[in-house]
Structure 1
């Protein structure tokens, strides 16, 4: 770093770690059942939880966890990891920030912090503190992620990789060098749950991979590339093989559209018998009136031939406030059941 940083002031601001909620420590079934008998968002959450439980009870259903936004940094990181550990998720589609800047970041031993006060953001910049609403990230620690991604890339053969294939290498790295057992990336690697990030380089992975390519090019050497088409092809292949699928979506954006589009892509490939996603839940605060993908309702998705209108539920709420209830309810209902893991990662030759 070339700028002198006030280490004392920085330590004051980064003094209270975000504590990720543990859904195994409390049983949300009674409150979710009670909320289901209420109205408004409470009833929506009750129905959404019921639909997620239907996915888990359906032996043919492949459950797809779709994550956009910053809930991982805000305290839901261990929640998502527990869903993988407990066999309650088969496929993950997420933003690069969720996977790299948040989960892989903590897998390397770094932390997110509660902002007990929010000074001028120019002050935060001078201290190399990044802010997500009321959550802080140490930029110097985040740069360690950039360099670790670069180091992983340097060890791999210079060829095209889907984001799934590269993230699998990240999981392998955490098994060998990680400092947190409860990492989504690590657990997904161990449980053969594929992770797709359709906009992977929109994260710290991008900085490390750009450095990898620039350094290789300067040295006249070949370098690896990310194949976004392979992402779409592989995820569509899972949809074709899976048949029955259910979506648990937090936020919207690219991950939401990407997983839904697999139905259309399968039809383009001649698989006209591939069913729309049978079950779907979306938790979002996005406003439906602007026509954006993030806010488009699941009913709207049916017009595109992507989602079944019969078993779907929108929940208009901040996901960090309702996901712990939904996930705890489902975990306590299914912890003693033997749900057969799908292990879709084994579909690909690099596993």
Structure 2
């Protein structure tokens, strides 16, 4: 394939258009009812039974009137077709708070909120050729680098328009949601819907994303003018998320992937104890969908059973599902959507806990 690329005489813009010709279509969990297949999988073995139990636990979270549900996302499932799925969980009051990677929130959701798209990589030439065409690749998914730079500069404009002080990632992402309400081109955006429904979003490694480029430019430009600049306060992230855990009581974790977001939300229990709130309970429910391995001692931030030794998660109602999340999350989410426990859930609107939300 590389030789074909080297001999390709087509203009770059034509070649790029051909490679970016098939948009990723995000799945709509409302359009199909997964309850029958999940019920059947519950009677099987291996990963099928694990998924059945995980779905049952998520439905328990939704039916528990005292449970605050945290959606925890790492990895690239948003770019791969689950973006509208996560947005629907916000719209239908099926989660109360989001903890995610910066890439999930900025490079994927906010990026599409601006009107840009992800594309299926039906053909993969060598990656040096993709670089020459300004095409970024996530496995079999393409992103137009020029569109991603528009995302970078939009973040920069938002930062330039704010008071120059420290912001938690939650506070800055709320400004991004406000921007999408006023200027966005996609209604079904998690960032936009979270703003509208007062669902806080935290990105503990926020600048590890397109936001980082825009914010670095903001600081460099301000420093060149000898003026103050805004910054992201990661300690404020931890404090605010712990505050939600303290006031939220019982809690459940729906985790896709692991890593920093997973460890961050689990650590709120320990942080609450350090602050003197010894009555704060461990996370009552926990589901993790991951392909990470346990043999390196990590499993992308510990197994749920291991987390119990740290006083973070109960082992009574938990389930690990070792599967590629894009293949099983549509089943889990569709099952829960059609069982309808969300219809009688109280909206918690945890974003209103903070003074800047009004």
TM-score tier after normalising by the smaller chain length: over 0.9
Residue 236 of structure 1 is matched in structure 2 by 242
Secondary structure class of the residue paired with 2:93:
coil
* Cα distance change on mapping 1:350 and 1:304 into 2, 3 Å: same
Alignment partners' CA distance in 1, 2:342 and 2:56: 18
**Corresponding residue for residue 336 of structure 2:** 330
State the SS of the aligned residue for 2:343: coil
Does residue 295 of structure 2 align to residue 306 of structure 1?
A: no
- Alpha-carbon shift at residue 349 of structure 1 (Å): 0.4
Residue by residue over 1:96-147, the C-alpha shift from the partner in whole angstroms, topping out at 9 and shown as x without a partner, is 0000000000000000000011100000000000000000000000000000
Query: 2:325 — aligned with what?
Result: 319
1:139 aligns with 2:116: no
Map 1:1-351 to 2 at 5 A: 6-292=12-298, 294=300, 296-334=302-340, 337-351=343-357
Structure 1 runs of 4+ off > 3 angstroms? none
How far is the alpha carbon of 1:35 from its aligned partner?
Answer: 0.1
Maintained 8 Å contact 1:257/1:293 = no
C-alpha distance in 1, partners of 2:192/2:32?
25
TM-score by length of 2: 0.96
Give the Å deviation of 1:337: 2.3
* Contact 2:93–2:342 (CA under 8 A) maintained in structure 1: no
Between 328-337 and 17-26, report the one with greater CA deviation: 328-337
How far apart, CA to CA, are the structure 2 residues paired with 1:225 and 1:10? 36
Closer, same or farther: CA 158–113 of 1 in aligned 2, 3 Å: same
Question: How far, CA to CA, are the matches of 1:141 and 1:106 in structure 2?
Answer: 10
Deviation track 1:230-277 (CA, whole Å, cap 9, x = no partner) reads 000000000000010000000000000000000000000000110000
Q: TM-score, normalised by structure 1?
A: 0.98
Q: 1:334 & 1:308 partners in 2: Cα distance? A: 26
More displaced 10-residue stretch of structure 1: 284-293 or 60-69 = 284-293
What are the ranges of 5 or more consecutive residues in structure 2 without an aligned counterpart? Answer: 1-10
RMSD: 1.1
Alignment gaps of 5+ in structure 1: none
Q: Following TM superposition, by how much is the alpha carbon of 1:336 offset from its aligned partner in structure 2, in angstroms? A: 7.1
Could you tell me how far apart the structure 2 residues matched to 1:190 and 1:320 are? Answer: 26
